[in-house]
Amino acid sequence: MNAPLRKVVFPVAGLGTRFLPASKVVAKEMLPVLDKPLIQYAVDEAVDAGADTLVFITSRYKHSIADYFDTAYELEQKLERSGKKELLAAVRNVVPKHVRCVYVTQSEALGLGHAVLCAKPVIGDEPFGVILPDDLIWNRGAGALRQMAQFAPSRDAGVIAVEEVPHDETHKYGIVDAEKADGRAARVRHVVEKPKPEVAPSNLAIVGRYVLPGKIFELLEKTTPGAGGEIQLTDAIAALLRDGDVHAYRFDGTRFDCGGKAGLVRATLHFAMQDPALADIARAAVAEAVQPN
Ligand code: UTP
């Protein structure tokens, strides 16, 4: 496709049960890895891919996400008056000026596929990206979504990010059956949502990045509830495969599954080790914590 992705959808209306009780009031996407919330890492990746329209699919419990991207006049004035220029820039630059944020409410958490379908009036019929912010992907070079957009062979093709996972974890993911890979990409033959290890076609799991054609919306409209009684995006992608072109893409980067505690701990340690002011402190804290009492 080689054109920048203009629009990116962030489905953030899930209940986040793995972070209860915190997620009773703190949106999972607002949990910080050091000083930035998960949603900020996701937005930075979308902007890196060329997006100028960010579509957040939210729920009545997630107002903090819109508040976070809104202007904070009082705070900005205080920082300006006290000459705290770096902090002021950090607060102002959560989204670049040329980027607009659109919020769509998913009134009931009917599944990821349903959440993406809620973006239809904003996206129309053009290719778009999807980022699940709890999959934080770190890369020194181009972000995962930019890599996928640059690979996308046409406006009608789907590109889904994949990663190998342990065989006994296939039941947690959408799993791909793909042809032999050509570099980072492989044409998808078949996808199945959350298969048990004994029936999984591979251990290549779909993770939270997609480049999708506008056609996905009519397929989502026809998708009935699948695994877990939810409208699954994977099922609409399976339908897209019937008369289209879907590619699995092994991105360059490290993924942290911050939808659960283990991934959030790993991501926090990783980013602390990248920060010269924190690396020694993090190393010492881990050494201290693993000492027997
Ligand atoms: P998850 O499967 O991680 O569900 O959703 P969840 O509710 O966020 O978290 P747990 O499993 O209960 O802890 C994957 C992505 O799809 C979004 C979520 O916000 C998350 O980004 N989603 C899921 C919706 O936006 N709407 C839904 O109805 C379901």
State pLDDT tens for residues 229-274: 899 999 999 999 998 899 999 999 999 999 999 999 999 999 999 9
Torsion-angle region of 108 (φ positive above 0: left; ψ -120 to 50: alpha; else: beta): beta
Dist. CA 133 → ligand 1 center (Å): 10
How high is the pLDDT of residue 160?
Answer: 98
Assign 292 a pLDDT band (cuts: 50, 70, 90). Answer: confident
How high is the pLDDT of residue 32?
Answer: 97
Report how far residue 126's alpha carbon sits from residue 211's, in angstroms, rounded to the nearest whole number: 11
Report how far residue 177's alpha carbon sits from residue 191's, in angstroms, rounded to the nearest whole number: 6
Report how far residue 197's alpha carbon sits from residue 203's, in angstroms, rounded to the nearest whole number: 8
Q: Is 36 in the pocket of ligand 1 (CB under 6 A)?
A: no
What is the set of domains in the chain, with CATH numbers? 7-259 (3.90.550.10)
Give the mutation target among 112, 130, 207, 220 for probing the ligand 1 site: most ligand atoms within 8 A of CB.
Answer: 112
Q: Is 8 in the pocket of ligand 1 (CB under 6 A)?
A: no
Residue 144 has pLDDT above 70, yes or no: yes
How high is the pLDDT of residue 182?
Answer: 84
Measured from the Cα of 114, ligand 1's closest atom is: 28
State pLDDT tens for residues 32-79: 999 999 999 999 999 999 999 999 999 988 999 999 999 999 999 999
State pLDDT tens for residues 151-186: 999 999 999 999 999 999 999 999 999 998 889 999
Residue 280 has pLDDT above 80, yes or no: yes
Dist. CA 136 → ligand 1 center (Å): 14
How high is the pLDDT of residue 3?
Answer: 64
Q: Is 14 in the pocket of ligand 1 (CB under 6 A)?
A: yes
- % of the chain at pLDDT higher than 70: 99
Residue 161, helix vs strand vs coil: strand
Assign 1 a pLDDT band (cuts: 50, 70, 90). Answer: low
Q: Is 15 in the pocket of ligand 1 (CB under 6 A)?
A: yes
Q: Is 226 in the pocket of ligand 1 (CB under 6 A)?
A: no
Measured from the Cα of 109, ligand 1's closest atom is: 28
DSSP letter for each residue of 22-58:
GGGTS-GGG-EETTEEHHHHHHHHHHHTT-SEEEEEE
**What HEC string does 195-237 produce?**
CCHHHCCCCEEEEEEEEECCCHHHHHHCCCCCHHHCCCHHHHH
